[in-house]
Structures are given as structure tokens and as C-alpha cells.
Structure 1
Amino acid sequence: RGRLLATDSFSVAVRAQPGNLDALYALGSSHTAICRGITVQERHYQLMEAHRAMLMAAQTTHRLPEAYAAGVLTPMQAVSTVDSWTRSHVTHVLADFSLPLERTTSWKLAHDCDQLQFLLVRGILDARVFMPVIEEMQRAIQEVREREKGSQRLDSLQALPSGPEYMHLRAVYNRLVYVRPASVIHGAAVNMGQDWTSVQAKYLSMRHGIVHVDDFLELRAADELLAFVQESTFWHNIRNGYLGAFPIDGSNTPLALQIADEVRGVLPDVLKDYELTYAGAYKHIVNGTGLALHVDGHAVSINIWLTPNECNLAPGTGGMVVYNVAHEDVMTQEEFDHYPQRGPVKIPYRRNRAVIFYSDLYHQSDPYSFKDEYQCQRVNFSLLFGERKWKKRLTNQNGNFLYANAKELNARLGNLPRDPFASYIA
């Protein structure tokens, strides 16, 4: 029965709300409820089925032309086992999902160019097919960089260069060239040698929990998750100096779902019965930038840092800043500025360190400086559990009310000055 539920879960989600993109995300979160009471082997089978359907959706939205797909020497995971009804309806579900296939930035193109070269070196791509793409990208970087002069924001999008001289670039840009099959691993992915009882007790002792755990994953799991985000070409979402990879892009790997499943087992009183609602990553490309002040809008957030420590040019920095202020506590910037004992707590960057915290705490990236190399780009993988059980509104300068979400919070509070009196965790 567990296998039948696993196989059908994606179709059920789509049929329930055929016009709702959230139905696709439901697959990634439904594994928890579906897997209760079944064996470990059946649970792992279900995780593979979940990813297979999500990957099929990603391939639908970011389809690579066949002429270039032939140049991928390491085949991606097959998705032919997804039922025909699901396959025929995915396009309908994603009809309103607009991909930035015609917009770009110079640093996004530079990232994509470096990534394709990285995949060539690893023997994943055929140079005869992808070298023309790389050469056109290199020319496009210079053209777009000229257009960007005078722009003050790193997410100021420019038109993707066009014309016959960019034929290969336009066929491949923001397409799903390759996704590394980061499958469920045998044994534990989470480090079971940690004192999880103490970690849970510390989290629960706080009004709004925030803890960090070093050596969070077993080394082979951390290495595999890093390889997954470095090799997979799902970095389609352009932000202010960093890129996002979301479940609909293919980030919902079975390994991430396995990690979420195991964390639930070691922190049962923290994660309770919250479903996994998001598994994705951010890659920070331009030094000094990062996520502005925001809340995640879920119940519990887990951020895992993956890039090697030797890439960090300023040890003791580059992590995240968390304020002891929840969204339920403040409604305006003035209230935030005058909130007593708001902190913040500064958690320095360290590879394989996980920060586990109450999702509605205000937090932001700490300024960072990493080596200017593809394999040194700062990557964090996030697992978000549950949803906010309440809605509170912010008032903007015009007196309009806005529901709080990450985008609005960035616009409303993103320009807050950084507190120079941050407390540090070693």
C-alpha cells in the first residue's frame, strides 16, 4: 500500500488542484505522511518516486533541445515510469509558470559558463556539443556587462543577446542540461553520533529556538549534496547577487528527502508532525551580497552550509545573522528598531554546519568573502518544515496592508542597518 500511495501521490496532488503550482510541491512534502508505518526500504522507494516525478516536472519546464541533450555523456535519471496521466497534465499545471529564458545578468552568464566548463572537466558533457555554447556565453558576458554599466542592483535583468551568433547560447540558457542523481544513500545521511537529545533540549528551552550543529551530515552525504548542487544546472532564479534552485527546478533530490526524514527521527519534539514543504538551495556568486532581512514563513528552518572552509577568505564571518525577534512580535520597521534585546546572534560560516531555527525569526546573510572560483561559491541547502499558523500584516508607507512574505519583507525591512554589537557563536 505504501508503494501504491507513493506512485500515485503526484497524480493525486495534480488532480486535486490542477491549476495550482503548489500541487507539485505537495509531492515533496507528502512523503512524510505517506511513509508512516512502512519499512525503511519502502520509504526509500517512495523518496525515489517523489524525486522522479519532480524531476519530470523540471524537465518539462526547462526542456533541453535534443541536439544538445545528445552531448550529455552521463544520462540523467530516467522519468519514464511516471504515469501517462501525470505526464500529459504537467504542462497544463505549469502553463502560467514563466521562466526567465530571455533575461539575464553578466554574473549569471559567467556562473553558467563556469559550470559548463566544470562539467566538461568532469566528463559529463561532450566538448564538441558544448564548446560552441561556452564560446557564445563568453561573448555574451561582455555584451551584457556593457549594458549593465550604471546599474546599482545586481538583479537588474538584461535581455539575453540574440541573433544567429548566439544560436547555441539561446538554445541552452536556463535549460536543465544535467541533474546529478543524488540518490538515497545506504546507512544514515545525518550524523547519528551527535548528542541529539541535548540539541533538542536546547532548542526547546528557548521561546523561539535557534541552535547550530557542526558535522551535521555524514561526510559522504555532505560530499554528495555538494556535488549535487555544483553539477546540477538548475540555477534558474536570479536574485541580487545570488541564485536560487527550487523544487520545481529539480532541487528536490532523494538525498535531501532522506535527510529530512532522518532529522525528524532525531528531533521529534522540534519537527513534531510538520511536513517538509521545501527543499532547495541558494548559491552566492557576488561577494558581499546575500539574502536581505526576511522570515521564512514556515515552522522550522534548517540551513546547511556545504562549501569547503578553505574557500572562505574571512573565517569567522560569512554565515548568517539571526535576530531574537519573530514576525509575530513586530509589524513595522520602527517596532523592529526599538524591540528590546533583539540581538542579533551571528553564526559564522563553517562547512557541514546546520542552523536550526524557528522560521519566523528575522534573519539575513552575514557579509562574506569567498575565493573567486566556481567550486568555492558559497552554497547553503535549506529544508523548511510546516507552515505559519497565523497571518499578521505589515503596514507600508501608503497605509496599505501587506501579508508578510520574503519578498515584501525584503522590500520593507531589507535596508535596515547591520547591528555592530552582534553576539558571536564560536
Structure 2
Amino acid sequence: MKSPAPNPGSSSAKARNSAASELRAALQAYRSGRGRQAAELARDLLARHPDEAGAQYLLGVVLQEEGRLAESEAALAAAVSLAPERASFQITLGNLLLERGENARAIQCFRTALAIDPASTPALTNLGTALKRTGRVREALEAFRRALRLRRATARSAESAGQASDADEETFAVTSRAKLAHDSEQYQLLLDRGRLPASFASEVAALRSVLDTFGLEDRPSARRRLLPQEREKIFRSYNRLIHRPEDPPLPGAVLGSGWDAAAIEARYAEAIPPVVVIDNWLSDAALGALRRFCEEATVWFDCKEPGGYVGAYMNEGFDPEVLLILGEELKVRLPSIFGEHHLSQMWAFKYAATGPGTRKHADKAAVNVNFWITSDRACLDRSAGGIRVYPVAAPASWGFDRYNREDRELERLVARSELAAIEVPYRCNRCVIFDSSLIHESMPLRFRPGYENRRVNVTMLFGDRAEHTG
């Protein structure tokens, strides 16, 4: 028998309508920045309707933002139990578990979310993060790559490009003169090398037309939103995964053979602060493969201000096989430095011909590996262009944002030190290994114009600082 339709005039229907209205009011309070009021409204609703999944979820979100993680987990777990079909609930609970360091449980939440919604890029990205934290780097990259293909696929229309989620919208709508110039040069190189069809020349022309009228000639690193007519011209290609070169087979080891591993380990153990420099870091084949990847892969989605450089990251396509092998070889070749640490992050920055480079910062990891791959012929000032490492560690209690954005406090910490900074000038295939918590910055750089002359530095982080400091 078919069940009768609910009677809007019945008491149960009125109660449901009232609950829905109260939940809308709570959500509106939250969206207006009144989190505490939203939590109170959610609690009032739950006192009368304990099975209201949306109220449990909202309460859990507010509690998480307040740092009351145990209470937040209880509320989010209740929401998941009440509405197991909601992928977003599973993702939010997984994110909380990630914050609490419960990676295994977080992985299960993200996998459950993907069983509900296989095309969820947040679930894939966060699954990759959880797997990476457990040292399962190759599994993590598979999740990241699936998310990348979904998020960065070529848009079919300007309308579809404008329908990105709030989290994604900025990456397709904000740019700088420096970023547009980089992309134009890279696309031209790919056309010249036959990596893209000749028809792609129209995309290059469209991008150059936006660059020609973009303005900000005196501030090339300044970011601004693309105007609607600008976005219409370049939506098909801007910050999309247009090309990724195949990973070539690599004969022999990735690490160079011309340096003494035992001596490096001894120097690192004895150095105060722990900083060592290694030349001829990679084999010729590995250096060539990595240079080709950085020149050709259209994964430089981040434009930095200030500095004017572009960035590529492990979770969004900066994942060449040569670096994965490198991470594995380091644990064998330099076990006293890397043996206990897994690869936790990697990225690369690519710069214009001149500029200040990266500002003072520190990395929340155990060991930092920083090396350069652009030909020495491109560097016009061999006394600079490298890295400056200060004998001062950022406080262990700081989080990621403070490590990277507390400019004035970092300056004060450096100013208090009586020890001189360690300056390492630029050399191709030179690596600097150091304690990641040490404050460091780029030295000013001056390179020849031209795309293949752009300074490229690669950073790999191993372990985390909590692990490192015991």
C-alpha cells in the first residue's frame, strides 16, 4: 500500500516545519558571523528535536572553530549517524579528526564520503593529506591526482568556469601581471616543443591580449581579480592542467655520486645550527628530468604577492617521479638525517629575472631540503640568488600561519641573535639541508631574461617539528 501524504496541518508536519525554520535561523546567524548565537539556537532546537542532523552538524562546526574539539567530534559524529548519506558531514568529521591527529579514522571518513560522492574533490584532497601524514606518499598522490583532474580540467564555457565552489573560485579569478607573463612564456615553449597542438596558439594570443591591457606595470606581482571580459578570453586555459610531461625512465640513482654521504651526516650532526651544503646534488639524468618537468608541467597555479613568483605544490600536480625516488633514496643514503622521517611536503617556486624572492619564514617540519635546478648560465650575480639561513628557530608553539606570516615577529627574533646568518649563493644543482624551524629567506636574485632562465628552487620537507623536537 502507498503511504498517505503528510498532512501539512498535522502536529508532526507543523513540528517539522518549525524545526526547519529554526535551523535556517541558526544557519543565517552562523553565516553572518554570529557563531555563538548559532550554537545556542542549534542547542535549543536539539533540546526539542534531538534527531535534527543539521543542527548537530552546525553545532559541531561552531565548536570546532572555538577549539572545543572533543565536543565538536561528539556533535559531528551524531550528525553522521543521523544522516549517513551526507558526504559533507563525513568530510567535516574527517577534517576534525585530521586536526586531532587521528589520521586512520580521518581516512575512513574520507573514504566513506567518496563512496557516497566519488567526484568530491574535498574528500579526495583531504584523503591525500591524511595518507601523506601516515607516510603513504604514493597512495596520497593518487588521491591528489584524482582531485586535480576533477578540479583543473579544462572548462567548457565561461559560465561553467564561473560556477566553481567558493574554495576554488579565487584560483580561476585572481591573477597578477607576473603570473600572466609566466603562463604566456610557458605556453609558447610548449608550442615550440610540439607539446601542444598548433590550435592552442589562439589561447596564447588571448592570454597575451589580457596581459597587454592588464595594467599594474609598476607592480607586476600585485594581484587583482580578472574582469568579466578578461575571464571570458582565457577561461579555457587559465590555471588549468593543460600539460604534464611523462616521467622518463631514470638510469641508476637519482642522487649524485660525487659527494661523501658519511661526511655530510657528520657535518649535519656537528653543525650549530644544523646546515649543510651539497653540490652536484642530483645525477645528470635526474636533473634533466626535473628541469623538463618544471619547464613543461602547467601546474604553477599559485601567484605570490609580494615577490612575483609562481608556486607549484605536491597536492596540486607537483609530483614528478624523480622527487619520489629522491625521497626514498635519502632515507638510505643519509639515514641519520632522514631515516626516521617521511616526506611530508614538497613544492617549487619559479621567479622572474629579478626580485627579492621569498621573505623570512620557517617551515613546520623536521628537515628542509632546498635546491636549485636552473642553469648557472642564467645567473648574473653569482654572489647572491641563493638562500640566507638565520641561526634562530621560530617558536615551536607557532602554527603554520605564524611560521609564514608573522613578518615583524620574525624580524625581531632575528635581530636579537648575535650570530651571523649563513648565506649560500646560487649554484645549479646545489642543495642546502637544514633544520626546517630555522628562519630563512631568499637572497636577492638577478637572472637573465627568458623563460628557461627563470630561477627554480625545489623544497622538500621531511617529518614534522613535533616529532623532531621530541
Contact 2:279 2:431 in 1 (8 A): yes
* Corresponding position: 1:260 with 2:327: yes
Distance 2:218 2:384 in 1: 30
**What SS does the aligned partner of 1:292 have?**
coil
Letter aligned with residue 211 of structure 1: V
Partner of residue 178, structure 2: 107
Residue 51 of structure 1 and its aligned partner are, at CA, apart by 4.1
**What SS does the aligned partner of 1:296 have?**
coil
Q: Determine which of 206, 210, 224 is the counterpart of 1:136.
A: 206
* Corresponding position: 1:187 with 2:187: no
Partner of residue 367, structure 2: 300
* Corresponding position: 1:233 with 2:298: yes
Contact 2:154 2:237 in 1 (8 A): yes
* Corresponding position: 1:57 with 2:123: no
Contact 2:392 2:413 in 1 (8 A): no
Distance 2:436 2:366 in 1: 5
Contact 1:54 1:252 in 2 (8 A): no
Q: Which runs of 5+ in 1 are unaligned?
A: 1-7, 35-45, 68-91, 393-426
Residue 280 of structure 1 and its aligned partner are, at CA, apart by 1.4
Residue 337 of structure 1 and its aligned partner are, at CA, apart by 0.9
* Structure with more helix by fraction: 2
Letter aligned with residue 275 of structure 2: I
**What SS does the aligned partner of 1:100 have?**
helix
Distance 1:50 1:137 in 2: 33
Distance 2:376 2:258 in 1: 22
Over 3 Å counting, the alpha-carbon distance change for 1:124 and 1:210 in structure 2 is same
Which structure ranks higher in relative contact order (CA pairs < 8 Å, sequence separation ≥ 6)?
1
Contact 1:25 1:277 in 2 (8 A): no
Distance 2:449 2:203 in 1: 22
User: After alignment, is 225-234 or 245-254 more displaced?
Assistant: 245-254
What CA deviation, in whole Å up to 9, does each residue of 1:366-422 have, x standing for no partner? 001001100000001111011111899xxxxxxxxxxxxxxxxxxxxxxxxxxxxxx
Contact 1:144 1:161 in 2 (8 A): no
What CA deviation, in whole Å up to 9, does each residue of 1:277-327 have, x standing for no partner? 112111112512210001011110001100000000111210011111111
Contact 2:367 2:462 in 1 (8 A): yes
Residue 347 of structure 1 and its aligned partner are, at CA, apart by 0.2
Distance 2:264 2:246 in 1: 31
Distance 1:27 1:119 in 2: 33
Residue 157 of structure 1 and its aligned partner are, at CA, apart by 1.5
Q: Which runs of 5+ in 2 are unaligned?
A: 1-103, 115-121, 158-163, 399-408
Q: Determine which of 346, 355, 380 is the counterpart of 1:279.
A: 346
Contact 2:369 2:460 in 1 (8 A): yes
Distance 1:223 1:26 in 2: 32
**What SS does the aligned partner of 1:389 have?**
helix
* Corresponding position: 1:14 with 2:105: no
Letter aligned with residue 377 of structure 1: R
**What SS does the aligned partner of 2:354 have?**
coil
User: After alignment, is 351-360 or 206-215 more displaced?
Assistant: 206-215
Residue 182 of structure 1 and its aligned partner are, at CA, apart by 2.6
Contact 1:323 1:345 in 2 (8 A): yes
**What SS does the aligned partner of 1:265 have?**
helix
**What SS does the aligned partner of 2:371 have?**
strand
Partner of residue 77, structure 1: none
Partner of residue 404, structure 1: none
Over 3 Å counting, the alpha-carbon distance change for 1:253 and 1:336 in structure 2 is same
Distance 1:278 1:178 in 2: 22
Over 3 Å counting, the alpha-carbon distance change for 1:319 and 1:149 in structure 2 is closer
* Corresponding position: 1:122 with 2:193: yes
**What SS does the aligned partner of 1:245 have?**
strand
Which of these two proteins has the greater Rg computed from alpha carbons? 2
Contact 1:26 1:277 in 2 (8 A): no
Partner of residue 317, structure 1: 384
What CA deviation, in whole Å up to 9, does each residue of 1:135-171 have, x standing for no partner? 11111112112xx2565xx5422222433x8645121
**What SS does the aligned partner of 1:211 have?**
strand
Q: Determine which of 413, 416, 426 is the counterpart of 1:349.
A: 426
Over 3 Å counting, the alpha-carbon distance change for 1:59 and 1:266 in structure 2 is same
Over 3 Å counting, the alpha-carbon distance change for 1:286 and 1:159 in structure 2 is farther
Partner of residue 414, structure 2: 336
Letter aligned with residue 336 of structure 1: V
Q: Determine which of 201, 220, 231 is the counterpart of 2:285.
A: 220
Over 3 Å counting, the alpha-carbon distance change for 1:16 and 1:260 in structure 2 is farther
Distance 1:332 1:289 in 2: 17
User: After alignment, is 291-300 or 16-25 more displaced?
Assistant: 16-25
Over 3 Å counting, the alpha-carbon distance change for 1:184 and 1:386 in structure 2 is farther
Partner of residue 128, structure 2: 24
Distance 2:217 2:186 in 1: 25
* Corresponding position: 1:363 with 2:440: yes
- Identity %, equivalent residues: 28
Contact 2:391 2:421 in 1 (8 A): yes
Letter aligned with residue 175 of structure 1: R
Letter aligned with residue 288 of structure 2: D
**What SS does the aligned partner of 1:118 have?**
helix
Query: How large is the RMSD of aligned CA atoms in angstroms?
Result: 3.1
Distance 2:448 2:315 in 1: 30
Over 3 Å counting, the alpha-carbon distance change for 1:308 and 1:357 in structure 2 is same
Distance 2:426 2:109 in 1: 38
**What SS does the aligned partner of 1:216 have?**
coil
Distance 2:424 2:126 in 1: 32
Contact 1:174 1:235 in 2 (8 A): yes
Contact 2:345 2:460 in 1 (8 A): yes
Over 3 Å counting, the alpha-carbon distance change for 1:167 and 1:29 in structure 2 is same
Q: Determine which of 366, 369, 377 is the counterpart of 2:454.
A: 377
Distance 1:206 1:285 in 2: 33
Partner of residue 402, structure 1: none
Contact 2:360 2:410 in 1 (8 A): no
**What SS does the aligned partner of 2:171 have?**
coil
Distance 2:369 2:143 in 1: 24
Partner of residue 222, structure 2: 156
- TM-score, normalised to structure 1's length? 0.72
Contact 2:362 2:439 in 1 (8 A): yes
